Structure 1
Amino acid sequence: MKKKDLVALLLAFAVLIIIILLPNPDSLPIVGQRALAVLAFAVILWVTEAVTYPVSAVMIVSLLAVLIGISPTVEDPTIVYGTKQGLSMAVDGFSSSAVLLVGGALVLATAMELTGLHRRIALYIMSKVGTKPGALVLGTIIVSFVLALFVPSATARAGTLVPILLGIIAAFGLAKESKLAALLMITAVQSISIWNIGIKTAAAQNMVALGFMETAFGIDVTWGEWFLYAAPWAILMSILLYFVMVNLIKPDMSEFQEGASIKKQLQELGKISGKELRLIIIAGLLLLFWSTEGTLHPLDSTTITIIAVAVMLTPIIGIFSWKEVQAKVPWGTLIVFATGISLGTVLLATEGATWLSSNSFEALGVTAMPLVLMIAVLALFNILIHLGFASATSLASAFIPIVIALVGSMEPTSFNGPGLVLIMQFVISFGFLLPVSAPQNMLAYGTGTFTMKQLLKSGIPLTVVGYLLILLFSATYWKWVGLL
Structure 2
Amino acid sequence: MLLMSPGEPTSNRKLAWLGIALAVYVAVLMLPTPAGLTASGQVALGLLALVIILWISECVSPAASAIILTGMAVLGLMGKPLTEGARPMSSADALQVMLGGYSSSAVLLVAGALFLAVALKLTGLDRRVALLVMSKVGISPARLTVGAMIVGFVLALFIPSATARVGAVIPIMVGVVTALGLPVTSSLGATLMIVTAQACSIFNMAVKTGAAQNLISLNFMQGAFERTVTWGEWFITALPFTLSMTVVLFFVSLMVLRPHVPPAEEAKRRLAEEVATLGPVTLPEKRLMLVALLLLVLWSTEGWLHPLDTTTTTQLGIALLLMPRIGVMTWAQAEKQVPWGTIVLFAAGIALGILLSRTGAASWLAGVTLGQLGLEGLSVVAVVGALSLFSIVLHLGFASATGLASTLIPIMIAFSQTLPFGAETAFGIVMIQSFVVSFGFILPTNAPQNMLCYGTGAFSTLQFAKVGILMTVAGLLLLLLFSATVWPMMGVL
Bin the TM-score by the shorter chain: over 0.9
Q: CA deviation at 1:405?
A: 0.7
Relative to structure 1, is the Cα distance of residues 412 and 89 closer, same or farther in structure 2, using a 3 angstrom cutoff? farther
Q: Does 1:233 align with 2:255?
A: no
Aligned twin of 1:154: 162
Residues 232-270 of structure 1 deviation map (CA, whole Å, 9 limit, x = unaligned): 211111111111112222234465234122221111011
Q: 1:284 aligns with which of 273, 293, 309?
A: 293
User: Would you say the 8 A contact 2:156–2:204 is kept in 1?
Assistant: yes
Give yes or no for contact 1:212–1:401 (8 Å, CA) kept in 2: yes
How far residue 133 of structure 1 moved from its aligned partner, in angstroms, is 1.3
Cα deviation code 1:93-140 (max 9, x no counterpart):
100000011111000000000000011001111111001111101100
Q: Secondary structure at the match of 2:306?
A: coil
The answer to whether the 8 A contact 1:132-1:255 is kept is no
What SS class does the counterpart of residue 219 from structure 1 fall into? coil
SS, match of residue 287 in structure 2 = helix
- Alignment match of 1:374 (pick from 371, 383, 391): 383
Aligned position for 1:309: 318
* TM-score after normalising by structure 1: 0.98
Counterpart of 2:104?
96
CA distance in 2, matches of 1:411, 1:337: 32
1:289 deviation in Å? Answer: 0.5
Which of 329, 338, 346 matches 1:320? 329
Which residue pairs with 1:183 in the alignment? 191
- Cross-structure match for 1:167: 175
Change (3 A) 1:59 1:136: same
The residue type paired with residue 214 of structure 1 is Q
TM-score of the superposed pair, with normalisation by structure 2: 0.96
Matches of 1:85 and 1:222 in 2, distance apart?
Answer: 33
Question: Are residue 336 (structure 1) and residue 345 (structure 2) matched?
Answer: yes
CA deviation map 1:299-334 (0-9, x unaligned): 100000000010001111111110000001000100
Q: Residues 66-113 of structure 1: CA distance to partner in whole angstroms, max 9, x if unpaired?
A: 222221342316x31222221111111100000011111000000000
Contact 1:132 1:254 in 2 (8 A): no
In structure 2, distance between residues paired with 1:414 and 1:367: 15
After superposing the two structures, state which structure 1 stretch, 409-418 or 13-22, moved more. Answer: 409-418
CA distance in 1, matches of 2:463, 2:35: 50
1:408 is aligned to 417
Distance 1:306 1:374, change over 3 A: same
- Counterpart residue identity of residue 218, structure 2: L
Partner of 2:3: none
Structure 2 Cα separation of the partners of residues 397 and 457 of structure 1: 28
Q: Does 1:120 align with 2:128?
A: yes
CA contact (8 A) 2:184 2:457 kept: yes
Cα distance in 1 for residues equivalent to 2:103 and 2:23: 31
Q: Say whether the 8 Å CA contact 2:141–2:260 is kept in structure 1.
A: no
SS at match of 1:416: helix
The separation in 2 between residues aligned to 1:480 and 1:67, in whole angstroms, is: 47
* C-alpha separation in 2, matches of 1:74 and 1:303: 33
Q: Partners in 2 of 1:434 and 1:95 — Cα distance? A: 34
Match of 2:371 in 1: 362
* Residue aligning to 2:17: 8
Query: Which of the residues 105, 113, 129 maps onto 2:113?
Result: 105
Looking at structure 2, the residues matched to 150 and 136 of structure 1 have their Cα atoms a distance apart, in angstroms, of 22
What is aligned with 1:389?
A: 398
Tell me the distance in 2 between the aligned counterparts of 1:411 and 1:68: 34
Please say if residues 69 and 87 of structure 1, whose CA atoms lie closer than 8 Å, have aligned partners that are also in contact: no
- Cα distance per residue 1:115-167 (max 9 Å; x no partner): 00011001111111001111101100111111111111111111011000111
Q: State the partner residue of 2:486.
A: 477
Match of 1:44 among 45, 49, 53: 53
Cα distance in 1 between the residues matched to 2:381 and 2:57: 33
What is the CA–CA distance in structure 1 between the aligned matches of 2:423 and 2:116, rounded to whole Å? 41
The one-letter code matched in structure 2 to 1:189 is A
Question: In structure 1, what is the Cα distance between the partners aligned to 2:346 and 2:323?
Answer: 27
Letter in 1 for 2:338: V
Where structure 2 has 5 or more consecutive residues not aligned to the other structure, the ranges are 1-9
**Mapped contact 2:180–2:261 kept (Cα < 8 A):** no
Q: In structure 1, how many angstroms separate the alpha carbons of the residues matched to 2:434 and 2:482?
A: 15
Amino acid at match of 2:447: A
- Tell me if structure 1 keeps the 8 A contact 2:230–2:310: yes
Answer with 302-311 or 16-25: which moved more: 16-25
- Pick aligned residue for 1:56 from 65, 68, 74: 65
Residues 146, 250 of structure 2: 8 Å contact kept: yes
Question: In the alignment, is residue 136 of structure 1 matched against residue 144 of structure 2?
Answer: yes
Consecutive unaligned residues of structure 1, counting only runs of 5 or more, are: none
Aligned to 1:213: 221
- Are the structure 2 counterparts of residues 267 and 450 from structure 1 closer, same or farther at C-alpha, using a change threshold of 3 Å? same
2:196 aligned partner, one-letter code:
A
Q: Distance in 2 between matches of 1:369 and 1:296?
A: 40
Segment of structure 1 superposing worse, 268-277 or 85-94: 85-94
The answer to whether the aligner puts 1:447 opposite 2:465 as a matched pair is: no
Provide the residue aligned with 1:84 in structure 2: 92
Aligned residues: 483
Distance in 2 (alpha carbons) for counterparts of 1:97 and 1:73: 23
Instruction: Give yes or no for contact 1:199–1:231 (8 Å, CA) kept in 2.
Output: no
1:421 aligned residue (403, 406, 430): 430
For 2:187 and 2:416, locate their aligned partners in 1 and report how far apart those are by CA, in whole Å: 46
CA distance in 1, matches of 2:423, 2:213: 28
State the 1:335 CA deviation.
Answer: 0.2
